[in-house]
Structure 1
Amino acid sequence: MLKPDSLIFDMDGTLWDASETYTAAWNAGFKAMQINKTISRSDLDYMMGWERRRVLEHTFPDYPEEKKEQIYDAIVAAQDKLLPQTGGRLYEGVSAGIAQLATKYKLFILSNCPVNTINQFLTYTGLTPYITDQMAHGVNNMPKHHNIKLLQEKYALQNPVYVGDTEPDQVQSDLAGVPFVFVEYGFGQTEKYALKFSHFTQLTTYFMAL
């Protein structure tokens, strides 16, 4: 793998765990829509990192498209209220690691999340000063490989890597033609990667030494 000029990070399962807040938001959204349904953290963790359409098809297979979108909008509205209050838990080493890595690389966040979620993450964690830019699936509803390429083009990135925690992250990295760096402490598993780390501090140490 060539020495990278930039690191593009997934968010959930890579930088933090906000599943408890997301679960509460989903159930608040169901309540607002008067849907007699609850979702558990394990249900949500299973879908973590999926694109919106796949999540809705999996969760509401028998609902018409318009109803699915209304439910999703209610969930996002609940999340927008809850996330700034209860946030999530940064994985150990992330706060110090991001600050270090930003002295050497352009850093980005790219996630299959609603439009406001990355900004809420940055505000809650105080990491805004270290991130060059970010891209959420909710902005254009496009897959990660497309959005990785958008960041590449916008910032003339020559050798970016994508850091994530699931097999879909690996697949999207391959489609974008960028090396995939797997962090195995997150929500998923994959057997294909250019590099693997079990702790964010290990990742930081490796890239700072290049």
Structure 2
Amino acid sequence: MGTLYKTIILFVIIVGAMSCGGAKKAEQEALAQARRDSIALAKQNAILPIQKKYGAILGVPPKEIDNIALFEFIDDWMNAPYKLGGNTKQGIDCSYFTQYIFHDVYGNLIERTAQKQFDAPDTNKFKGLHNLKQGDLIFFNNRGSEFREITHVGFYLGNDRFVHSTSRKGNSGGNGVQISNLQKQPWKRMFVAGGKKPKFNNNTTEN
């Protein structure tokens, strides 16, 4: 009986030790998972440098810069010089630039010239500036008249700001791809209409 008793006691001790070890291991795994979840949440809520940069430029909270692909595209082209008929970073015109945005960011091929982009059947045109949303085209000419030739096109970003390639010099002192304020001259005077185009990228907000 003495030997059997000792054997039972030893078995209980071993099982208990295994149970404690298993509980400790489970606790360690739970803590490790909690750390991983915390890191993932921090990354999810982190503000990216590009959000800070363009939030400041547009005058909006960085979190509102949520279409990262769009702003990475813009950042890649920023300050590329203007060139009539140009289609490279050595020189690009307004309608090639908007065409590239729609193709590279939204997966949609739109018309080549500002006038054709304006006249296209799938361009839903409107006059009110308050109806503008990110992703809309904005059309211009010297008279601000829809009965005159459309001579310039830009891409609306929000908070009255739009990106475009222009021969006019911006704040940096150079022409080309830049972000301008639609409420400032000459753009306010030259504004003809906004235009909504269909988009096919699920990462963007539908107009």
Instruction: Provide the TM-score with structure 2 as the length reference.
Output: 0.22
Q: Using CA pairs under 8 Å that are at least 6 residues apart, name the structure with larger relative contact order, 1 or 2.
A: 1
The structure with more radius of gyration: 2
Greater fraction of residues in helix = 1
Instruction: Provide the TM-score with structure 1 as the length reference.
Output: 0.22
